[in-house]
Amino acid sequence: MKRSFIALGVFLFILTSCGPEVKILTPNSKCQTTVEGFYHVRVYMKWSEEAPTLFWKSKGQLHGASGKILEINDDGVLFDPRREGPFYDPKPKFFPKDQIVTLIDSARHVILGEIPEKYTDGWQMVLWVKNVSLKNTEVIPLKLLPNSPFGFCMVPGLYHIEKIQFKNKVGIIDEGLEIPNLFFKVERNKANYIGDLYLDPKEFDQSVIGISYKNVYSPKEAFWAGAIGGLWGSALYHAYKAAKGADGVHFLKIKKNENFKSILKRPLTVNLLGFRQQ
């Protein structure tokens, strides 16, 4: 058993850590050749308890409980927290609106407030890229954080996407199968904008790219996360020809944002991520 845990640890270290690191762009970076863009992804709830759920604040502290919604009115919510063990069954309590952070119904829809940051998660996307303009170059990871701008100091050249991974806070790791043949160009001494990247966007058209994926690691505590991975089981999934052995499909949309600003506040050179070698 101990040996299997060691082997798993080595596997995960290789999977997530190998390859040279790329210098992340900051407003104080001195590099002249950069790759920039914005990564958009829908966030989801990471709350393993049953719904309905109420989150509220009391004396500055965040609290949460599952139970029953008895009444909703203009002043607040009457909520009956579920029984806590055989000897304690909290009585229904009225929560005024100014204390309520989030109210979630039995279908796990947010009907009041917003999901607390502490309980949100979204797919981080890692693009493993290789400069195919140069010989003997290594594959390097570009880590894109949910709903954040990204920027990296890069060597000029034409880059090919070799591998795509999806990770979340819980520790789930999915890896793309049969990666689309995507490239982007990096011009010397330029702020190269490769686009706003949308993972599983709400709006679909012919430009959306399907990425079949296989789960390569899921911790035991991630049992609740089955519903949030890609679009397995949806009409879109069945319309897309997934790779053999896939656990699901993510969809990627690449758009040009006319209002995008460089992290270094420099003029942009548009080199969108795409199928054609630019």
Residue pLDDT, tens place only, 197-251 = 999 988 777 789 999 999 998 876 554 443 344 444 444 544 555 667 888 899 9
Q: Which pLDDT does position 20 carry in this prediction?
A: 61
Q: How many Å apart are CA 72 and CA 79, to the nearest integer?
A: 9
Residue 134's contacts (CB-CB under 8 Å, 6 or more residues apart) are 155, 157
Mean pLDDT of the chain: 83
Backbone φ/ψ region at 113: left (φ over 0), alpha (ψ -120 to 50), beta: left
Q: How many helices (H) and strands (E) does the chain have?
A: 2, 19
Residue burial 77-116, b: 16+ Cβ < 10 Å; e: rest: bebbbeeeeeeeeeeebebeeeebbbbbeeeeeeebeebe
Residue with the larger pLDDT of the pair 168 and 272: 272
Minimum mean pLDDT among 8-22, 71-85, 145-159, 198-212: which range?
A: 8-22
Residue with the larger pLDDT of the pair 179 and 151: 151
Give residue-wise pLDDT tens across range 6-45. Answer: 444 434 444 444 456 689 988 889 999 999 999 999 877 7
